[in-house]
Structure 1
Amino acid sequence: MTNGPAVAAVKRLEELGVPRRTIWRRCEPGGVWRRLLPGVVLLGNGEPTEEQRIEASLLLAREGSVLTGVPALRRYGLRNLPDIDDVHVLVPAERAITSTGFVHIERTRRLPAPLSRAGVPTAPVPRAVIDAARRTSDSDSVVAMMAEAVQERHCLPHALAVEIDERSRFDGRLLRALVPILGGAHSVAEADAWRLWKRSGLPEFQWNVKVFDAAGRFVAKPDGWCDEVGFAWEVDSRGYHAKGDHFRATLARNARYAAAGIVVLQTLPSRLRTEPDAVLHELRAAFHSAQRRPRPDVHLG
């Protein structure tokens, strides 16, 4: 599972004939081995890699343990993850073991059926997301992680809702973070926009849907879309949309909106929090502007 020095349980080394006094002597300061966790050593003296830390944690937790949380999500390729450095491992509720060093041990009666990721028993994405979210105080980090898991098709929003209900039924914070994702938001900024729309009193908006003109040509995939009047809301960050190819793509998108007769409101993500009342006024005004002209001949794909 790892490159470089192996990770081994002390008990296993003794079974192979290495005396315990030899093991501890090699783990002394300046020695050729390194003690990582109680009863687990690195057969080298460098800093352990993340893979070696994971292997050591699972050796400590013993057979039947499951990797979860942030290190599990990294194995699925997720990037928008909370800043949690320890290795989160699930073990059966009856197992007498506690957290130590860099490993966070969680005893549970709901041990998930693991998936093998590069040889490591790993919790399914919905469980790993909620396990990480429960240990994360920053709500934006929780929303970003949930949004990426859904947007990259690692899981459905409903699976996260089920996991919250079964594992964290009293944590309203996680439910509040998930609600915009269930509504179709794909990012923290879109979740802010979704919440602002909920305050607006405007008709139903859809999120991240594809819009086509009368000839069936693709127009855009707006962040927010009111199909009743053919109105688009784009939450455009200055850093992303103002440079190079992104700037050209944004101009081309806006030209397609204009050609299709679609009213579009562009909002900087930061203003959703710094000037919510002003943005709310602009949103309502843009909607009423769209409402006053005939609905353009466009449809959703």
Structure 2
Amino acid sequence: MRAATLQAQTVNKSTVYRRCLPGGPWRWVLPGVIVLQNSPPTADQRLVAALLYGGPHTLITGLEACRRQGLRLGDMPPDDRVHILVPHARRVRSTGYVLVERTVRMPTGRSIGEIPVAPVMRASLDAARRIRAETPVANLLFEAVQRGGCTPAALSAELDLGNSRGSAIPRQVLKKITPLRSVAELNAKQLAESCSRPPTHWNPKLYTSDGHYIATPDAWWDDVGLAWEIDSVDFHYSRDAYGRTVRRNSRYGQAGVPVVQTLPSQMSSNPVGVERELEVAYQAASERGRADVRVVPDNAGVHGQGNPAA
């Protein structure tokens, strides 16, 4: 509760001060904001206190807003600050655990568990501009795309409209991830640049000569007909996902398409070994002869049977 609210309810200033002394029943959380208990505030109480400190129309943004909207943030750099957005005209400064960002572009928020938060697009970029490493920024923005309903183009447009401070790394990441679907693919693309023959396509749709869908590999060498799949355990952990992978591999086999399967962890723990495996697979595919398959752009129609989601 705000101290001013308590005073307006006939609790005089000296009583508020006395009850917040060490050993008293209350404690100060932020300037002008009190928690009516002596124990440390809970996570939600910290958020409410930050909102009270910011004043009317304040929104939680950054990582906490992303987390509350379903984004997975397991590998983010540790940060216990609460990031809030306040209207630019309000003279509020960062203090304690609260990071205050005054903005002339106050977004329309949404309430999650009675906590008003900035939309995913704004919240993810507000967080990304304060992270100084490319990989966690890429993870965060991929999450915004995959789980937050954003697109790389929309994120780039939002980034252009906002404060330029801290935008360099998010801007670089957005340029790289536009044709990709995960951080694992981004790492794969960087690793593949060192191969003697890098992939010719990323995420192409493959069809048989009579129009039956085969798969959408992460990477594809069209000259020899070699597919590369980055199969994360996290993505394939469910029974349904595992079943889709088995059916995909069966279609590869029926079409005569050789495929290299790599775990994301292999690219970080043994990049030289992964590169060597790709080189050997490429050589074997070139000696074997290319299967009769074709690459179809996303916007092209295809006649025949097959379901790209299967």
TM-score (norm 2): 0.78
Amino acid at match of 1:53: R
Q: Distance in 2 between matches of 1:169 and 1:101?
A: 22
Asked whether the equivalents of residues 211 and 298 of structure 1 are also in contact (C-alpha less than 8 Å), the reply is yes
One-letter amino acid matched to 1:115: G
Q: Which amino acid aligns with 2:226?
A: F
Report how far residue 272 of structure 1 moved. 2.5
State the identity as a percent: 38
C-alpha distance in 1 between matches for 2:70 and 2:265: 28
Q: Does 1:192 align with 2:187?
A: yes
Q: Which residue of 2 aligns with 1:90?
A: 85
Tell me the distance in 1 between the aligned counterparts of 2:95 and 2:166. Answer: 27
Equivalences for residues 249-288 of structure 1 within 5 A: 250=245, 253-288=248-283
Question: In the TM superposition, what whole-angstrom CA distance separates every residue of 1:41-63 from its partner, at most 9, and x where no partner exists?
Answer: 12233332222211111111112
Which range moved further: 93-102 or 245-254?
A: 245-254
Q: Deviations for 1:267-290, whole angstroms, at most 9, x for unmatched residues?
A: 232342454455334434434544
Confirm or deny: 8 A CA contact 1:180 1:195 kept in the other structure: no
Moved more, 216-225 or 142-151: 216-225
Question: How big is each residue's C-alpha offset from its partner over 1:183-218, in whole Å with a ceiling of 9 and x where there is no partner?
Answer: 21312x2211022234545353223x5555567666
Once superposed, what is the RMSD of the aligned Cα atoms?
3.2
Contact persistence 1:75–1:117 (CA under 8 A): no
Whether the 8 Å CA contact 1:230–1:298 is kept in 2: the answer is no
Query: CA offsets, 1:6-33, max 9 Å, x none?
Result: xx11111211222222222332333332
Aligned residues: 291
Q: Is the Cα–Cα contact under 8 Å of residues 69 and 132 in structure 1 kept in the other structure?
A: yes
SS at match of 1:32: coil
Q: CA deviation at 1:175?
A: 2.5
More deviation, 269-278/34-43: 269-278
Deviation track 1:92-119 (CA, whole Å, cap 9, x = no partner) reads 34433221122111233x4332222234
**Partner deviation per Cα, 1:218-255 (whole Å, 9 max, x = no partner):** 64443323456543212235787799987776555433
The correspondence of residues 34-53 of structure 1 with structure 2, limited to 5 A, is 34-53=27-46
Q: Distance in 1 between matches of 2:200 and 2:260?
A: 16
Hey, what does 1:3 align to over in structure 2?
none
Q: Distance in 1 between matches of 2:192 and 2:116?
A: 42
Per-residue CA shift, 1:144-180, capped at 9, x if unaligned? Answer: 1111111124211112222333433774322333333
| Shift in Å, 1:86 | 1.1
Aligned match of 1:102? 97
> Which digits, 9 at most, give the CA deviation of each residue in 1:66-108, with x for residues without a partner?
3210111122111125232111012234433221122111233
- Kindly report which structure 2 residues correspond to 1:196-215, keeping only aligned pairs within 5 A, or say none: 196-200=191-195, 201-202=197-198, 204-207=200-203, 211=206
Pair 1:174–1:233, CA change in 2 (3 A): same
**For 1:55-204, what aligned pairs fall within 5 Å after superposition?**
55-80=48-73, 82=76, 83-108=78-103, 110-118=104-112, 119-166=114-161, 167-168=163-164, 171-187=167-183, 189-200=184-195, 201-202=197-198, 204=200
Counterpart selection for 2:14 from 15, 18, 21: 21
Decide which moves more: 63-72 or 197-206: 197-206
Over 3 Å counting, the alpha-carbon distance change for 1:129 and 1:239 in structure 2 is closer
Q: Does 1:224 align with 2:216?
A: no
Distance 1:29 1:277, change over 3 A: same
**Could you tell me how far apart the structure 1 residues matched to 2:7 and 2:242 are?**
63
**Change over 3 Å in CA distance of 1:231–1:112 after alignment to 2:** farther
Question: 1:90–1:111: 8 Å Cα contact kept in structure 2?
Answer: no
> How far is the alpha carbon of 1:39 from its aligned partner?
0.7
Structure 2: how far apart are the matches of 1:236 and 1:141?
20
**Unpaired segments ≥5 residues, structure 2:** 297-307
User: What residue number does 2:291 align with?
Assistant: 295
Mapped to 1, the partners of 2:37 and 2:210 lie a distance apart of 66
Please say if residues 230 and 261 of structure 2, whose CA atoms lie closer than 8 Å, have aligned partners that are also in contact: yes
CA distance in 2, matches of 1:226, 1:248: 26
